[in-house]
Structure 1
Amino acid sequence: MLFFVMVVAFTAVNPRFFSVRAMANVLQDFSPVVLMAIGQTFVIASRGIDLSVGSVLGLSGVSMALTIRAANSVGVDPWVAIALGMSAAMGVGVVVGLINGLLITYFRLVPFVATLATMGAAAGMSLVLTGGTQIAGAPKEVILLGNATYFGALTVPVVVVFLAILVSWAFLSRARFGRWTYAIGSNPFAARGAGIAVERHLVKIYLISGVLSALAGAFVYFRLGSGSPLSGRGGELSAIAAAVIGGMSLQGGSGKLTGVVVGALITTAVLSGLILIGVQPNWQQIVVAALIAVAVWAQGLSLGGSRS
């Protein structure tokens, strides 16, 4: 309901908001946010938090850009170069996700501290690799893959994102993996007593978050045709906002992925709408922070979420 109210309000101020082109831009912005938010959903459901998602997005995009540029410079087939770049991006997600999981489960760091450390390390590594500049040199196939539209609004990355949403929903709400995730978030001691390998499961959850954030970074690269160390700046805020607005309880153990998807759509639509009506981009993070505060306040007044 809130999303439709927003659409009506923004369209009343600027009719271009309801155009196919504007909706296509919203979907492009929505894709990386919802991927990070899905990973955040698994983490929050297990009573954790992942602050590294934005930095993983940036580092994976930079790694992909550097790999593709290097392969392209020596005459490697563009599609092979893209495959190598995707492998590099996914590798970043796996490594950071694994480090997060091990820091939390075996080194007993609280998730906030562990992921704060990897957030800073990944952001710093992006700057080291790039010198603070964008990495261009992508073949035309990258732009074609990331921006060719179908039915006026859909691109290949957007379609992949919808598939990722469907698979993640099935895992979280219909599979044993999701039941175990919610059980750990509700009561990790009881979950361990029920025979769930809590530490191993948590490592898998943070791996999922890392891989999905890396995929988001790859899709941002496809869209822009370059890798920037600043691409993921504020990404953790957007991902947490989408999860909380969508009804995920920060205390773990409850919430719906379907709500998180709507939360990501609301977040990106708000930011796009503000730009179209002339609000300065510098206000974006303030608006997102306000949305988080309102959503948490609303959760405090409710009786709590329920599983999808």
Structure 2
Amino acid sequence: MPRSRRGIAGRILLDQQSILVYVLAALVLVFTVINPVFFSVGVFGNILVDWAPIALIAVGETFVVITGGIDLSVGSTITISGVIAAFAMAGLTGAGWPDPVSLAVGILVSLGVGVLVGLVNAVLINVAKLVPFIATLATLGAGAGLALVLTKGGPVGGGPSSAIGLSAPTIGPFSWPIIIAIVIIAIAGLFLHFARFGRYTYAIGGNTFSATAAGISVPRHLVKVYGLSGLFAGAAGIMTYLTLGSGSPTSGTSDELSAIAAVVIGGASLTGGVGRMGGTVLGSLILTSVTSGLVISNIDPNWNQVVVAILIAAAVTLQTVRRGLGRRRHS
């Protein structure tokens, strides 16, 4: 094989997204062999229900990680946004407002709470000069604690009765909320890879000083990035409400770890400047497929953490190998 063709073949084989496709296909094959029920529309629908909220917060996390930051608050943002939206919808429904109005207000409230948390993170980072890990760890704890205080540990129901029906599949395994989530994720991917906003995001993660020298207002852009991450977490919060039919004070527990895992497995570097939306989507789909596959295969769900750890280690190792090959080619 000519040297140029070997180089192209090697790049394809070592491409992160190509490998993720192979891993996903292998997982589907293995779980189908163990239990043929896995390869069915019903199971795929359940996987999508689990996938959509994780994918949404992972998409927001992708923007943050590419800037060289991290957002640990997205899990509790799902919780607090869903809980406050649940209270708002319960109040309107109890007052006799039509279901569509209550639901529309609930969506706006959930998104607004998410953006508010994101802006608080940005203020802590830009004004208080906290590192992103500490700033978002603080809002993680505050959001989770506030949700428990407001709900006294119990779910918040009493919202529009027709809301839970929206999560039922309408086109094959796809429900309307999932279809909307896919469209939003696709738009976010275009925004990251083809818009000026995305170029600024990569520039800040690649070299903050160079980005500043190029005229990019780093603090202002970080406000937008963390606000966007909060917005996606708020969207995941209302989607979780639609799935559960209530606002749960524990609905987003540990989801921030799943989001970060999806981003890393998808090929993003925690040092910033590297990441692709397609990889994040595949990473989140792999995580939720593993979870569902273990349950359907009657395998101890605790193995899920082991599998995820292996996937993260493999993803980071692959990044190291690719960087080494890149330096070798340029030397």
Do Structure 1 and Structure 2 share a fold, with TM-score over 0.5? yes
Q: Is 1:19 equivalent to 2:40 in the alignment? A: yes
Match of 1:127 among 141, 148, 168: 148
Distance 1:92 1:195, change over 3 A: same
- 2:226 corresponds in structure 1 to 206
Aligned to 2:82: 61
- Letter paired with 1:107: A
* 1:137 to partner: Cα distance: 1.8
How far apart, CA to CA, are the structure 2 residues paired with 1:284 and 1:124?
Answer: 27
Q: Within the alignment, does 1:217 sit opposite 2:237 as a pair?
A: yes
Q: TM-score, normalised by structure 2?
A: 0.89
Confirm or deny that 1:110 pairs with 2:137: no
TM-score (ref. length: structure 1): 0.95
Q: Which residue of 2 aligns with 1:258?
A: 278
One-letter amino acid of the counterpart of residue 195, structure 1 = G
Alignment pair present for 1:32 and 2:53: yes
**1:1-308 maps to which residues of 2 (within 5 A)?**
1-147=22-168, 149-303=169-323
Superposed displacement of residue 192, structure 1: 0.3
Cα distance, 1:90 vs structure 2: 1.2
Deviation, 1:305, is: 11
The Cα offsets for residues 20-59 of structure 1, whole Å up to 9 and x where unpaired, read as: 0000111111100100000000000000000001000111
Look up the SS of the partner of 1:228 in the other structure: coil
CA distance in 2 between partners of 1:214 and 1:242 (Å): 18
Q: Deviations over 1:109-147 (max 9, x none)?
A: 100000000000000011011111111223221012222
Can you give the 5+ residue segments of structure 1 that lack an aligned partner in the other structure? Answer: none
- Going from structure 1 to structure 2, the CA distance change for 1:242 and 1:78 (only over 3 Å counts) comes to same
In structure 2, runs of 5+ residues without a counterpart are: 1-21, 327-331
State the secondary structure of the residue aligned to 2:323. Answer: coil
Q: Secondary structure at the match of 1:178?
A: helix
Asked if structure 2 preserves the Cα contact closer than 8 Å seen for 1:169 and 1:257, the reply is yes
DSSP 3-state at the match of 2:162: helix
Q: CA deviation at 1:283?
A: 4.3
Mapped partners of 1:226, 1:53: distance in 2: 19
Structure ID, larger Rg:
2
Would the alpha carbon gap of residues 304 and 253 (structure 1) be closer, same or farther in structure 2, given more than 3 Å must change? farther
Runs of 4+ in 1 over 2 A off after TM superposition: 279-302
In 1, the alpha carbon distance for the partners of 2:325 and 2:26 equals 23
Identity of aligned pairs, percent?
49
RMSD between aligned residues? 1.6
